[in-house]
Amino acid sequence: MRSCIPRSLLARLCLSIGPLLGISTVASSVHAQGNIYGVVQGTNLVSPPATDLFWMGFLNHSDQEIRIETNTGAGYDGTNWFDDFQNYTSHAAGIPYDYFFVNVSNGQALHLSKTVPANSFQQENILLAAGSFPARPAGLVAQVTSARRINLSWNSQPGMTCHVYRRVTSNAGVFRRIDDPLGSLANLGVADSFFVDSTSDGISDYTYVLIAQNSSGNFSAHSATSSALASVANAPAVAAVMPDSGAPAGGYSVTICGTNFDVAGASVTFRGIAATDVAVQSPVSLTCTVPAGSPGFAGVVVTNTSSGVASSPLTTGFHYEGQAFTRGDVNLDGSIDVFDSAYLIEFIFSGGPSPLPVDEAGNVDGDPDHIIDVFDLVYLLEYTFSGGPAPPP
């Protein structure tokens, strides 16, 4: 009768009780492509803590799918590592395998490269050594922009590229590479610190992980994972506007930096007034043309078009230069009333003093030509005496 004990547990039992019974820890069986396992030690012949040792593996010289120590049927317990070849899609005896082990506390590492054995249990002890392995990627965040797109961002590492992997969260099995679905090791991965997963189904909960690669072809310890529920869109965030100030007339281009911008399109407002020529360059950067506005700070808001989800305003994100004013309060007494109408009549028809504190205060209707004329006077009179619309900001 065949045992119902999982292969991963059998491997660990072999490691634990084999030496006590005076027998080899390599089991013999007719079952093929089973567990690989062994003891992990550093140069001091001491096993690293479970919190410090990370590994990842793939078969057939392709990282189209990978397994890490947190997968079902895999692990590292502070002494022994183990994996099960049968959890890979392709696991025939004789095909090559590669495992990369990294101790993140001291940088010691090892690349194990052999072929899948025909026996059920294969012992491979790991003796780590100093090496030039990349630093573990950090700061991975997954954010949903729309039903079809999920933005990934992480901390940049100069000189390093990243391979990007995904799995459905409920499936604790293999991760599949999504920056190169064919898993070509000749493709060094993503050089930027962001990636757009455009293959979301709009429903699933996905888990992502990164592995960095250096110019020598060595792989880092995998990053911490980050998950995102594809059916729930996250808001973009505005971090900065460059340049962060300009003339009230607007009409010039700025770059807005932030996170979770939808590369398929977004809109931007400055103090509620729409910017034009919005172009999303990446999940973390877009450009637009600033609208006209009155002097003072303007809150900047980015809204992703597909989801309709808006950022919180960056309240001091942009500053229109010049002295602050209120349209229509041309005598600068703090209110808009009959005295402002009399002041404007004097200015337009009798060469009286200019509106205060700047001429634009007399552009009551907010006309983009910035000319102060009888139309501004009519606008002001209608607002003051007939309940007409208030002067624009």
Q: Is residue 2 part of a domain?
A: no
Domain CATH code at residue 207: 2.60.40.10
Give the pLDDT mean for 73-84. Answer: 95
154-167 mean pLDDT: 94
Q: Is residue 77 part of a domain?
A: yes
- Average pLDDT, integer, range 49-60: 97
pLDDT beyond 60 at 172: yes
Residue 23 has pLDDT above 50, yes or no: no
pLDDT of residue 91: 81
- Position 34 scores a pLDDT of 60
Q: Residue 364: which residues within 8 A CB-CB, separation 6 or more? A: 327, 328, 344, 376, 377, 379, 380, 383, 391
- Choose the final residue of a domain: 229, 253, 269: 229
User: For the segment 378-391, what is each residue's pLDDT rounded down to a tens digit?
Assistant: 999 999 999 999 99
Residues 206, 272 share a domain: no
pLDDT at 27 over 80: no
Q: At residue 4, does pLDDT exceed 60?
A: no
Which of these three, 292, 320, 348, is where a domain ends?
320
Q: Is the pLDDT of residue 322 over 90?
A: no
Domain range enclosing 15:
7-127
| Residue 330 in this model has a pLDDT that exceeds 70 | yes
User: For residue 18, is it within any domain?
Assistant: yes
pLDDT in tens, 229-276: 999 999 999 999 999 999 988 999 999 999 999 999 999 999 999 999
Query: Are 199 and 279 within one domain?
Result: no
Domain CATH for 51: 2.60.40
In a domain, 106, yes or no: yes
**What pLDDT, on the 0 to 100 scale, is given for residue 262?**
98
Residues 25 and 107 in one domain: yes
Average pLDDT value for residue range 73-80 = 95
pLDDT at 93 > cutoff 80: yes
Rounded Cα distance, 321 and 198, in Å: 41
Say yes or no: 11 and 113 in one domain: yes
Q: Please state, rounded to an integer, the average pLDDT across all residues of the chain.
A: 90
Confirm whether 222 is domain-assigned. Answer: yes
| pLDDT tens, residue by residue, 335-382 | 999 999 999 999 999 999 999 888 889 999 988 888 999 999 999 999
Ranges of H-type helices in the chain: 7-21, 338-350, 374-386
Where a domain ends, among 188, 210, 229? Answer: 229
Q: What is the identity of the amino acid at 1?
A: M
User: Does residue 332 lie in a domain region?
Assistant: no
Residue labelled with tokens 């696991």: 91
In a domain, 136, yes or no: no
Do both 312 and 360 map to the same domain?
no
Q: Are 302 and 238 in contact (CB under 8 A)?
A: yes
Domain count, the chain: 4
Residues 122 and 23 in one domain: yes
Q: Please, are residues 246 and 270 in contact by the beta-carbon 8 Å criterion?
A: no
- For residue 295, the model assigns a pLDDT of 85
- 25 with 50, same domain: the answer is yes
Same domain, 259 and 191: no
Q: Which two tokens stand for residue 296?
A: 């003072």
DSSP letters of 28-97? --S--S-EEEEEEE-TTS-PPPTTTEEEEEEETT--SEEEETTSTT-EE-SSEEEEEGGGSS---TT-EE
Are 267 and 355 found together in one domain? no
Average pLDDT over residues 148-166: 95
The rounded distance, in Å, linking the Cα atoms of 127 and 103 is 11
The verdict on 146 and 102 lying in the same domain is: no
Residue 266 in domain: yes
pLDDT of residue 21: 39
306 and 353 inside one domain: no
What are the φ and ψ backbone dihedral angles of 11, each rounded to 5 degrees?
A: -60, -45
34 plus 119 within the same structural domain: yes
